[in-house]
Structure 1
Amino acid sequence: MSYLTIVSAGERNWQALVPELHCIVTASSRDELLRLSRESLAVALEDRTGHQPVVHQLADVAPEVRRELTGTEEVLFLDPAPMNPVSLAIQAALDRAGISQAELARRMGTSRSAVHRLLNPFYWGHSLELLRRVAEALDARVHVTFEAQAS
């Protein structure tokens, strides 16, 4: 499921617009812009289960947006970045426990920035030891399952 994305280079940075989802992203490099745009798409779609793109070509973009284009823009189709279900599960457990990130950090004996990283849905570096420490701090259990992927 790819979304039309309009990319342009400015004097100091790069910009991207995903008109269908009203995502606007800026970054210092094109590679960073594409990564952040994919993450922005994933966040915008998080609560829109089953959403399908309706903008398939530049002609589908609202006329007021097209009027702003200079003709130097690049039109791409980007897929949303994958979100880590482990980070989402930690956030859900934190919400259920009713404690703050700062309190979780205190209970784990770590920094708030470390907890913030664990909750980042685009972070993929969770270790089992770290998950055990999170579970202990939340008075919860870790349960790992493997499911076959649909083919």
Structure 2
Amino acid sequence: PGRETRLLEILRNVNGQYKYLIIDCPVSFGLLALNALVACDEVMVPAQTHHLSVAAIEQLSDIIVMINQKLNPQLRVTGLIPTLCDRRMKLAKNMIEKMESIYGRNLVRPRIRLDAKLAEAPSKGKPIQLYAPKSNGAYDYIVLADDIRMM
């Protein structure tokens, strides 16, 4: 253990102070993502509903198996979050069905629909709930948060 456990060592100092600690990191498989996976017990993977995302999830699954064996035996995937879902496109529906067939229906969390407001909010420096509280994206994230709370 070395560079890949730095975040874990820091988080040990706050252990017990929070019910949940959410670590949001880039999709890339770099040192930051590795530190996050070593430090957490559960991972939820956002995945765009297209073929390349499903392939990336399969790659991530292999990485998680390796991390389980060598660095963090508690790590488990507790959800896949389909994002940028355009229900008008058959591809999105097919990719969600593929995710469910590979990972199980219980692992696939509520979908986040394609919504321009979700893309605009960060450029305005606001979360979607403040930028466009009545948007589909804001609603979808409330549904997702409720789903996670019920787990």
TM-score (norm 1): 0.30
Q: Which has the larger radius of gyration?
A: 1
Q: Which is richer in helix?
A: 2
Q: Which is richer in strand?
A: 1
